[in-house]
Chains A and B, each alone.
Chain A
Amino acid sequence: GAGVSQSPRYKVAKRGQDVALRCDPISGHVSLFWYQQALGQGPEFLTYFQNEAQLDKSGLPSDRFFAERPEGSVSTLKIQRTQQEDSAVYLCASSFSGNTIYFGEGSWLTVV
């Protein structure tokens, strides 16, 4: 596709449920990033992939958060045993050379 595609766009999860958020980056983009944006805040870094290698996961808030990109294209962010504080927009971004970094529309997660 023409841009970064994320699914689902909206997800309501009961506390304790596991969720999986998918990101399809722009074709050929080597770098892929996940960010978390709480209401009224700026995006916060979660993790970064270069191809299939996860080079930085320092922003993942707990061991309930896990991300993968097994074939160097599509990525999945998984959140286990969701908590209310996980409610946020999860943004995926990709880039080819690290110059322009393109963001997807985001996955809006609400934990009830």
Chain B
Amino acid sequence: ELKVEQNPLFLSMQEGKNYTIYCNYSTTSDRLYWYRQDPGKSLESLFVLLSNGAVKQEGRLMASLDTKARLSTLHITAAVHDLSATYFCSDFGNEKLTFGTGTRLTIIP
């Protein structure tokens, strides 16, 4: 069974702090996606990681992929309130996205 696990499920952070969300997946896919979802909204694409060792950065978010460990990370630097949302990782195996449970991130002033 294809499985994607995120850790932690819930995260409260103070503004200005750094933290990392972890994503373990079970397929042999070398393609990993990160999405953001605000309450009542759809999924916004953040990153597509296409190969082992891939690292992408956008603003305060940086994502990386280790296909050998089947691990991806989403690192948040100097968090700000606008980053409060649910973050999903998803691997692309068997021509479809399999989503993790999501990490609900709350940034506290």
Q: Using CB atoms and an 8 Å cutoff, list the residues of chain A in contact with chain B.
A: 33, 35, 41-45, 48, 55-56, 59, 91, 93, 98-106
Interface size class of B (residues with CB under 8 A): 20 to 34
Q: Is A48 a contact of B96 with CB atoms below 8 Å?
A: yes
Q: Is the CB of B97 within 8 A of A45?
A: yes
A48 to B92, CA, bound (A): 13
Top-10 shortest CB links A-B: A42-B99, A103-B43, A105-B42, A103-B42, A45-B96, A43-B99, A42-B102, A106-B42, A99-B48, A42-B101
B contact set with A: CB distance below 8 Å? 31, 33, 35, 41-45, 48, 50, 88, 92, 94-102
Docked pose: A55 CA to B42 CA in angstroms: 24
Q: Across the interface, do B42 and A42 meet the contact criterion of CB distance under 8 Å?
A: no
Is B95 a contact of A48 with CB atoms below 8 Å? yes
Q: Nearest B residue to A108 by beta-carbon distance?
A: B40
Q: Are A55 and B102 in contact (CB under 8 A)?
A: no
The 8 Å CB contact of A55, one of B31, B35, B95, is: B95
